[in-house]
Structure 1
Amino acid sequence: SAAFHDIIVVSTQEELAAMRNFASYTYVQGGKSRQASLNNALQEVNTEYVMVSDIARCCVTTDMIQRILNAKEEASCIVPVLPVTDTLYLDGNPIDREKTKIIQTPQLSRTTLLKKALQTETLFTDDSSAIASLGEQVHFVQGSTKAHKLTTVEDLQKVTCLKEASHRTLTGFGIDIHPFEEGKQMFLCGVPIEVDYGFKAHSDGDVAIHALIDALLGAAGLGDIGELYPDTEDTYAGADSKVLLRDTVKRIETYGFTIGNIDMTIMAEAPKLLPYKNEMKSTLASLLGIRQNFVNIKATTSEKLGFVGRKEGVTVHAIANLTYTNWKEL
């Protein structure tokens, strides 16, 4: 809208990079509290007014925003409200509900005053209470029942503006290569392989899981394994790749994706993997939270060509299919 100079989104540090993939807004790292996060965002604001909204109110209407903007000259903070329709008790005594209001967001404030109001150790639950603490006037406008705040799973049933999840399938491809190293334990798909050599790597070297992680991240548009678990950090020295895969799955589910199926090809002249395939499939299925028949693992050779053919290492190709989680079934 022409009424807004910029849109600023506050998120955790780990979510910043992923969010930048979805829209070209201004992104700011949040703090340990709502107030700290808001303070961080306000450092990017130089306009006369700032409108702040909870991301949990995903059904804010255009009419509601326009009512707030139309009233901007009325006070230092413009707040949408709803009347209380239920009976209220406080400490066992009834409250006159005519004197109460349900406060909503977004709220429009004069930027300089909001910045000033937040420079205190007092924690405010919204902008209007911060502005009021300065002795400034707060003006109320009609809110919207559609702007319901998502707090519990049951609140999802009150959301009317969100469409059902798309049925589109998102596909990602991953590839990884590791050379052999004598005297190390070999892991493939989280399963220990009984040979006297393993993989040269910063972590445990599970080349199959590494390729799978890249496929999952690719489908979700969340970067690659090197960005999330860099081999330059001591944290991941000798890391268990199963732990990294679990973390990746949790991350993907947090962003609203469901794993459909995975397919993998392991190119290895040695070792022979047929005796391990069933255990590898069941291990991956458990780590991914999907049925075993949705995990396919193929093993092949390179017909003695290249470094794989010379028994110097292993290459793995992986494909992962994701769908959007149906939020109505949560």
Structure 2
Amino acid sequence: MNGEEGNVAPRSSARPRYAALIVAAGRGHRSGLGLPKQYAQIGGMAVLRRTLLAFQEADEIDVIRCVIHPDDRALYDEAVAGLSGIGEPIAGGATRQISVRLGLEALSDEHPDIVLIHDAARAFVSRELITRMAAATDEENGAVPTLALSDSLKHVENDAVVGTIDRSTCRAVQTPQTFPFQAILDAHRAAAERDDLTDDAAVAEAAGLHVRSVEGDERNIKLTTSEDFARAAAHLAPAREYRAGQGFDVHAFCPGDHVFLCGVKIDHDMALEGHSDADVGLHALTDAIYGAIGEGDIGQHFPPSDPQWKGADSEIFLKDAVERVAARGGAIVNVDVTLICEAPKVGPHREAISERLSEMLGIARHRINVKATTSEKLGFTGRREGIAALAAVSVALPGDDNA
């Protein structure tokens, strides 16, 4: 994603400014999940988060904003925690059409040339489709992704088939639907009193805006019912390859009164010395995840020479590694962490550490194992000079040589 949050990039005559408007204000009652479907977990991640990651990875996108239901702010904050470059959410309205119009009005301050309007529930939108839709849109033409229909179509009235529809002229329509910004904003303003327009393309058509049909993506399904979620979960499972990673870290003791181990603060008569919060467990685990996906180590992504990481919460490092797995369409399968020290005693905190890791990694508690041991009073840990940590992870990634 280009540009920085809160800044308006200068327009270039050679390159339009693109905004993504993610519509996430629906209630999703048909999903039967007990909460709005955009916040439900799939593959260990909230649907909305998976959608946002796809747009974050697209080089064309300069601005990303979400339209949400005002009652869902806590769910939204949890879903987007740690993501950068996502603007302040916009409060939606009673219908999708109203929510889109309110979102477009708020986006006016960002001065986009082109807007991509996307349903949050289409969490498997690909970077390739985003690029294709952005390229198909200009100052005179909107575009929608479409799919040819393979099933026969019948016109039905009162449970009776009264005709056959020529499917060769019909297409199933997806999102993101893309438009010249001012034109679609004007179209939504003009259609504010109508309630018969089923999508943004219909709003554009009603205003006389030309809309192109662009090849869609069969994988870009919309999650609506509980059956959709079950199929999507199955979609994530096959054709996977499994990778292993390992990490190791040590930190020396220094004066202090507590240590952080895997995100849990533990009282102790010493502290751990380090540029960040010196959480030796999280550092080892983060390096293990980077190793599983071939992404180097913490020092590469968060150099200790950079003053912005002085005293930083090591959860930041772990979240970055987790996001890199998710951006590849992958999932962390399990983690195993071993903490090596004479003191403090880890056993009384083992359950709290496991729960904290479950929270940070977004995986179930039974996929996490935490062990503690000593070095039988040998070496620097045996002399109570510091703590060492070992970590191993397994990661499932799409079975693709380029994954």
TM-score range, shorter chain: 0.5 to 0.7
Give the drift of 1:104.
Answer: 1.6
Q: Which amino acid letter does the alignment assign opposite residue 117 of structure 1?
A: A
Match of 2:365 among 266, 290, 300: 290
Q: CA 1:52 to 1:295, structure 2 compared with 1: closer, same or farther past 3 Å?
A: same
CA distance in 2, matches of 1:209, 1:175: 10
Does 1:259 pair with 2:333?
yes
Corresponding residue number in structure 2 for 1:94? none
Q: Is the 8 A contact 2:259 2:266 kept in 1?
A: yes
CA contact (8 A) 2:377 2:383 kept: no
Q: Distance in 1 between matches of 2:368 and 2:209?
A: 64
1:11-69 deviation line (CA, Å, top 9, x unaligned):
99x98997699x896555422357669998975x8xxxx99876828599xxxxxxx9x
* Structure 1 portions without partners, runs of 5+: 1-7, 61-67, 89-97, 326-330
Q: Name the SS for the 1:117 alignment partner.
A: helix
Alpha-carbon contact 2:21-2:118 (below 8 Å) kept: no
Aligned-pair CA distance for 1:182: 0.9
**Selected match of 1:135 from 208, 212, 221:** 208
1:299 to 353, 364, 374: 374
Deviations 1:147-176, CA, capped at 9 Å, x for gaps: 752245432356699474345322223333
Q: Any conservation in 1 of the 2:243–2:396 contact (CA below 8 Å)?
A: yes
- Residue 117 of structure 1 corresponds to which residue in structure 2? 183
CA contact under 8 A between 2:337 and 2:389: conserved in structure 1? no
Spell out the pairing of 1:1-330 with structure 2 (5 A cutoff).
Answer: 26=60, 28-33=62-67, 56=122, 80=146, 104-105=173-174, 114-118=180-184, 120=186, 122=188, 126-132=199-205, 134-137=207-210, 148-157=221-230, 162=235, 164-189=237-262, 195-201=268-274, 204-219=277-292, 227=301, 232-233=307-308, 237=311, 239=313, 256-264=330-338, 266=340, 268=341, 271-272=342-343, 276-287=345-356, 288=358, 289-291=364-366, 294-300=369-375, 303-304=378-379, 312-323=385-396
Q: Distance in 2 between matches of 1:141 and 1:18?
A: 23
Q: Could you tell me which residue of structure 1 aligns to residue 73 of structure 2?
A: none
Unmatched segments (≥5 aa) in structure 2: 1-17, 23-48, 68-99, 127-132, 159-164, 192-197, 359-363, 399-403
Secondary structure, aligned partner of 1:150:
coil
- Residue 328 of structure 1 aligns with which residue? none
Deviations 1:169-227 (A, max 9, x none): 22223333323221331233456656421113465432123322332354356776575
* Counterpart AA for 2:288: A
For 1:91-111, what per-residue CA distance to the aligned partner results, in whole angstroms no more than 9, with x for missing partners?
xxxxxxx9xx997226887x7
1:91-146, Cα deviation, whole Å (9 max, x unpaired): xxxxxxx9xx997226887x7xx344145594798552453354235588999999
* Stretch deviating more after TM superposition (161-170 or 182-191): 161-170
Secondary structure, in 3 states, of the residue corresponding to 2:365? Answer: coil
Q: Which has the larger radius of gyration?
A: 1
**1:202–1:320 CA distance, 2 compared to 1 (3 A):** same
SS of corresponding position for 1:291? helix
Q: State the partner residue of 2:34.
A: none
Supply the distance in 1 between the matched residues of 2:211 and 2:266 (Cα, whole angstroms).
68
Deviation at 1:237, TM superposition (A): 4.5
Secondary structure of 2:251 counterpart: strand
For 1:209, what is the secondary structure of its paired residue?
helix
For the aligned residue pairs, the C-alpha RMSD in angstroms reads 5.9
After TM superposition, the score normalised by the length of structure 1 is 0.53
Query: Partner letter of residue 270 of structure 2?
Result: Y
Q: For residues 225-284 of structure 1, what are the alpha-carbon distances to aligned partners after superposition, in whole Å with 9 as ceiling and x for unaligned?
A: 5758998448x8574x6x669967985679551432314353x5xx445xx343344333
Q: How many percent of aligned residue pairs carry the same amino acid?
A: 22
C-alpha change, 1:171 and 1:10, in structure 2 (3 Å) is farther
In 2, are the aligned partners of 1:165 and 1:324 still within 8 Å (CA)? no
Give, as a single letter, the amino acid of the residue that structure 2 aligns with 1:173: Q
TM-score normalised by L of structure 2: 0.46
